[in-house]
Structure 1
Amino acid sequence: MNGMLLAAGCGERMEPLSSFIPKPALEVLGEPLAASALRHLAPRCRRLVANLHRHSEAVRLAISRFALANGTEVAFSRETVLLGGAGGVAAARPLLGPGPVLVANTDVWAELDLDPLVAASAEDCAVLALIPHPDPRRWSGVELDPRGGVTGFVARGEGNDKTYLFTGFQLLGEQVVAALPPPPGEFAPVWEELRRRGRLRGVVVSGAWREAGTPLAYLELVLARLGDASWCHAASLVAADARLVRSAVGEGCRVDAGARLTACVVTGGAAVGAGSELRNCLVAGPVAVPAGAHLEHALVLPTGITPLR
């Protein structure tokens, strides 16, 4: 079995943050967001490939650094034009080689037991890893029959509490991979064709799952990982009298004397000036919060300060 990390998206929902830091490279307590997907795939896959498009070098460096530190090699499929999910896998076939492909999105943080997904592998099927739906009004849902066949997809907001949530992990059988149409292309039409032929299945897996599709969701993810603690990267500079409450200060970042941070994330080389007071803020990229600033529920970027959404 081989593995594919889908890391080539443009990150529209993450804007304006993704203009400075690509989503797969966002720091989660010292690791890139893509580390979660890589950690699931590496023990199970002979070869690993990640596709790249926007901010390709930053994504490549983030994934390569984590992979090297964990004894894993990743090959990269560069896309000069965005090819979509299915198109990305199709274009990477020469790097992946023969066999089924375990595919993972890189915009979620998960701790899932994927053994049931791997056990359900079939050469002519695609199998989706699902969890009981946590919020049908927020995300679309997947309908299953009693034997695990996917019968349809339900748009978000329809409130069907009997659906399941697609986790971003799927296993494509070898025949499915070989039959993928030439890129570009998304998975939706591939899934629909397989569903009509009874070759699209779902398995319910257990474990923790969080999405990180927007700046606010990213902040909430990091805060959830922190719990009641704070965290500072070894390569950050935090003044001895700065006060951090449930906050994270990332690699290359600085927090000056007397600053107070509550439920904040400082990342991407950002700095917080002396005496500043920040609450529920995300400060990212080459930017410095002025000394004495008071900010709440704000996204602070080199281009300015906007409400955090």
Structure 2
Amino acid sequence: MKAMILAAGKGERLRPLTLHTPKPLIRAGGVPLIEYHLRALAAAGFTEIVINHAWLGQQIEDHLGDGARFGVSIQYSAEGEPLETGGGIFKALPLLGDKPFVVVNGDIWTDYDFAGLRQPLAGQAHLVLVDNPAHHPAGDFSLSDGHVQDALPGADTLTYSGIAVLSPTLFDGSTAGAFKLAPLLRTAMAAGAVTGERLQGQWVDVGTHERLAEVELLIKGKH
């Protein structure tokens, strides 16, 4: 199974750090964020990695190279302009092949074990959800009996972690250009084709300086 790391975001809320450094290369605990993913994916048996990039993307290629020092093989999907999550994955499909693949947001930090995702996909998508963080209290979706649904009024909700397994068939009918992933997921949810799980462990969406500091504390706590 291949894996894709989404690394095309500009990281505007992390300025000035991201003015000259792409967000996935911002360091936490002295290590670029994206390297935590590469090491975790390699440890879980994922050796073929696709990384998309846009803002300062050449720095990502220069830093990571072909991936050999992480025990993986990296291919890059360069975007002239950001294509959003859906468009970015769609552009990379020729590199990902015709089987389900893992997608990971490049700007999260987690101790999640990706090995659990290496199993047959029972639908079009499998989402890893987390308890709603303080910056996103309303959540995204509901999880019931292993299936994910669009959040119903009054229902308990969880937040999408930025980790998923997707089938290429999710993108049937899509065309090149910028588009979001969520509408495709919601269509699949309505058809009962999205499974999910709740992440047990540590997870931070590293979108601000405060949350980057939170990751630094978590990393220190592990040593």
Matched AA of 1:88: G
Q: Distance in 2 between matches of 1:142 and 1:228?
A: 30
Q: Give the superposed CA RMSD.
A: 2.7
Structure 1: distance between partners of 2:150 and 2:14: 28
Output aligned runs, 1:1-309, within 5 Å: 1-42=1-42, 43-64=44-65, 67-119=67-119, 121-122=121-122, 124-135=123-134, 138-153=136-151, 162-178=156-172, 180-227=174-221
Judging changes above 3 Å, is the alpha-carbon distance between structure 1 residues 139 and 19 closer, same or farther for their aligned structure 2 residues? Answer: farther
Distance 1:223 1:161 in 2: 33
- Residue 190 of structure 1 deviates from its aligned partner by 1.1
Select between 113-122 and 44-53 the one with higher mean Cα deviation.
Answer: 113-122
| Bigger Rg, which one | 1
The alignment's TM-score, normalised by the length of structure 2, stands at: 0.86
Tell me whether 21-30 or 75-84 shows the greater mean CA deviation.
21-30
SS of equivalent residue, structure 1 residue 38 = helix
In 2: Cα distance, 1:145 partner to 1:28 partner: 31
Paired residue for 1:284?
none
**Can you list the C-alpha shifts for 1:60-99, whole angstroms capped at 9, x where unaligned?**
233338x332221211111001111111111111222221
**Which SS does the other structure have where 1:92 is aligned?**
helix
Distance 1:108 1:145 in 2: 21
1:235 is aligned to none
Report the Cα distance in structure 2 between the residues aligned to 1:223 and 1:75, rounded to whole angstroms.
32
Q: Aligned residue for 1:286?
A: none
Normalization by structure 1: what TM-score?
Answer: 0.64
List alignment gaps of at least 5 residues for structure 2.
none
Q: In the alignment, residue 165 of structure 1 is paired with which amino acid?
A: T
> 1:115 offset after TM fit, Å?
4.4
Give the letter aligned to residue 34 of structure 1.
I
2:111–2:201 Cα contact (<8 Å) kept: yes
Distance 1:153-1:38 versus aligned 2 partners, 3 A rule: farther
Deviation per CA, 1:170-192: give whole Å up to 9, x if none. Answer: 00024225554433211111112
Change (3 A) 1:142 1:202: farther
Q: How many residues align?
A: 222
Deviation at 1:227, TM superposition (A): 3.6
The answer on whether the counterparts of 2:125 and 2:166 sit within 8 Å (CA) in structure 1 is: yes
**Which one-letter code corresponds to 2:93 in the other structure?**
R
Per-residue deviation, 1:41: 2.9
CA–CA separation in structure 2 for the residues paired with 1:12 and 1:69: 30
- The amino acid of 2:62's aligned partner reads L
TM-aligned CA deviation for residue 7 of structure 1: 0.2
